[in-house]
Amino acid sequence: MAYTAPLKDMLFNIRHLARIEQIAQLPGFEDAGLETAQAVLEESARFNQDVVAPLNEAGDRNPSSWKDGVVTTTPGFKQAFEQFAAGGWQGLQHPADFGGQGLPKTIGAACGEMLNSANLSFALCPLLTDGAIEALLTAGSDALKATYLEKLVSGAWTGTMNLTEPQAGSDLALVRTRAEPLPDGRYKLFGTKIFITYGEHDMADNIVHLVLARVQGAPEGVKGISLFVAPKFLVNADGSLGARNDVRCVSIEHKLGIKASPTAVLQFGDAGEGAIGELVGEENRGLEYMFIMMNAARYAVGVQGIAVAESAYQKAAAFAKDRVQSRPVDGSVAASAAIIHHPDVRRILMTMRALTEGCRAMASVAAAAYDAAHHHPDAQVRKDNQAFYEFMVPLVKGYSTEMSLEVTSLGVQVHGGMGFIEETGAAQFYRDARILPIYEGTTAIQANDLVGRKTARDGGKGAKAIAAQVEATEAELAASGSADAQAVARRLAAARAAFVQVVDFIAGASRSDPNAVYAGSVPYLLLAGNLVAGWQLARGLLAAEQNRAEDPAFMQAKIATARFYAEHILTRAPGQRDAIVDGAASVTALPLEAF
């Protein structure tokens, strides 16, 4: 089935929730108003629908393969990536200084969603490259920037993130890859990195590995980790490619999903000579820099969740309109009818749609905060937006990816038995999505961040500031007076109250009873994500009521979807509060030996 980009919904968010016209007031974004957004999104839709999406099922059936250290991607991927680079898509959000287009994240995130809806496996290569670019922009020397950035921004070369080792997954303190200083200031790297996405492939001339390693003699733990650049091919002074570096892909993984994206085991120093690497920034500050890449990547992985949910929804809705089976219970059709006439199928499709639109709205607003945090002339506004964005990152990553599991599973269910047959394609979304709550920090890691750095550290102040904004929306809904707005306001208020109670619980007990607080960390993240997504849909409802005349059918759909979300998804929040606040002790009541 063809993918059709949800441009109307994206532009609705960009205009009414992210408020692009305010972003276009910021220095550097003068040309990035609604018209630009629309033009860029339309072009992105065409490219992804026509070039990238047709390769999605082929990539699943005919994944990347490894032979003697060489990885061959699915036929068509290399050509599509050349078109991607030629179209300037890699540089969308990156600075014009290095050949990028310097567009706001508010626009870039929507384009990222389309790329990922079209093909999650393909999209991972640019996603990781974006992370490498961010790290070099932030911490790289001028020489490193000059060597690498233009090539990465143009899509001539691609980037990777080398964190994980067999014994070091979530726990980077356990990283053992070692860096030996050379007399010329460079280093030799030795070690094994696993789960390296696009760690080896045939789509670009060079691969720029960003690698966490320990310099000899560095402190134990995370304080002794440094960040290095180690390209597949060394780069000569004139920018041409030199010798093959001593980093080899010794195998790729056999995975549940995203099969077209090669997941490499990389051996640094396999030939004994060591892979030549250059230090990024200062020694022992690697983790700090890596978090820059990770934070960009975490937001982007959240968008992947939205993207795969959208694809699953589109396929399920198309099937439900086409598949004829059984008479409707209300007697509205006398014979067997398309299954979309059945209330339960409608409930499933509405759940898929509401979750997807809710997370999209949340991500769009988070992107706008990022743009303001980086471009607003007023320092306090920048600071406030940064705080808001940082609170949103674990929600965009954690909630959107967890919801993508629910949505892609429901997508299989709509298809009945056909959903279990691989040729149908619904199962691929179910398999592909399963990595999203795991990589770039599991949902538990996101939740630790949300609980520790984002909630407990300031005694819940930032979290309550968001709750106050939700409350303001409730007041606007009450003032609107429509039955839809009233119904949404009621559920939003209950969810917000639940959220505040959990915030108080966390702020009160994070030191005295950390086990109790962290026992509820993931449910807290899900509650918070649920609230924020429902809140943004509620803001959308208000905007749709105010702009109804522009496009009555679309605006009515936004209103109906917001109400469905409030009544069917926000209603989960009070139960989550009960489990977190009253049920903490039972999480750890069973002794270890009883498992």
Asked whether the beta carbons of 209 and 230 are under 8 A apart, the reply is yes
**Using CA atoms, how far apart are residues 562 and 305, in angstroms rounded to an integer?**
19
**Using CA atoms, how far apart are residues 562 and 560, in angstroms rounded to an integer?**
5
Q: Please, what is the minimum distance in Å from the beta carbon of residue 516 to its own copies?
A: 8
Q: Please report whether residue 64 would count as binding its own copies according to CB under 8 A.
A: no
DSSP assignment letter at 218: P
Catalytic residue among 390, 402, 440, 474: 440
DSSP assignment letter at 168: B
Q: Please report whether residue 100 would count as binding its own copies according to CB under 8 A.
A: no
What is the token pair recorded at 454? 């984002």
Among 1, 137, 438, 465, binds its own copies (CB under 8 A): 438
State which of positions 124-183 bind its own copies (CB under 8 A).
164, 167, 169-171, 173-174
Among 38, 413, 469, 547, binds its own copies (CB under 8 A): 413
Q: Please report whether residue 195 would count as binding its own copies according to CB under 8 A.
A: yes
State which of positions 537-566 bind its own copies (CB under 8 A).
553, 556-557, 560-561, 563-564
**Using CA atoms, how far apart are residues 277 and 49, in angstroms rounded to an integer?**
39
Among 435, 492, 507, 538, binds its own copies (CB under 8 A): 435
State which of positions 521-540 bind its own copies (CB under 8 A).
521-523
Q: Which amino acid is located at 389 in the chain?
A: Y
Asked whether the beta carbons of 239 and 147 are under 8 A apart, the reply is yes
Among 6, 63, 99, 257, binds its own copies (CB under 8 A): 257
Q: How many residues bind its own copies, per CB under 8 A?
A: 97
The values of phi and psi at residue 120, to 5°, are: -60, -40
What is the token pair recorded at 147? 């060597």
Asked whether the beta carbons of 52 and 232 are under 8 A apart, the reply is no
Q: Please report whether residue 4 would count as binding its own copies according to CB under 8 A.
A: no
Q: What is the DSSP string of 354-418?
A: HHHHHHHHHHHHHHHHHHHHHH-S-HHHHHHHHHHHHHHHHHHHHHHHHHHHHHHHHHHHHTGGG
| Max CA pair span of the chain | 84
Number of C-beta neighbours around residue 436 at 10 A: 31
What is the token pair recorded at 231? 């390209």
Q: Please report whether residue 198 would count as binding its own copies according to CB under 8 A.
A: no
Q: Please, what is the minimum distance in Å from the beta carbon of residue 521 to its own copies?
A: 6
Residue 81 or 518 with smaller CB distance to its own copies: 518
Q: Please report whether residue 97 would count as binding its own copies according to CB under 8 A.
A: no
Among 344, 383, 457, 472, binds its own copies (CB under 8 A): 344
Q: Please report whether residue 69 would count as binding its own copies according to CB under 8 A.
A: no
Q: Please report whether residue 334 would count as binding its own copies according to CB under 8 A.
A: no
Asked whether the beta carbons of 566 and 487 are under 8 A apart, the reply is yes
- Part of the chain binding its own copies (CB under 8 A), chosen from 10-18, 108-116, 242-250, 316-324: 316-324
Q: Please report whether residue 236 would count as binding its own copies according to CB under 8 A.
A: no
State which of positions 442-501 bind its own copies (CB under 8 A).
442-444, 447-448, 487
* Cα within 13 Å of Cα(314), Cβ side: 17
Q: Please report whether residue 42 would count as binding its own copies according to CB under 8 A.
A: no
Q: Please report whether residue 400 would count as binding its own copies according to CB under 8 A.
A: no
Our answer to whether residue 440 is catalytic in this structure is yes
Q: Which residue has the tokens 């059984």?
A: 326
Asked whether the beta carbons of 466 and 338 are under 8 A apart, the reply is no
Residue 140 or 398 with smaller CB distance to its own copies: 398
Residue 86 or 173 with smaller CB distance to its own copies: 173
Among 343, 468, 475, 550, binds its own copies (CB under 8 A): 343
Q: Please report whether residue 192 would count as binding its own copies according to CB under 8 A.
A: no
Instruction: State the catalytic residues.
Output: 440
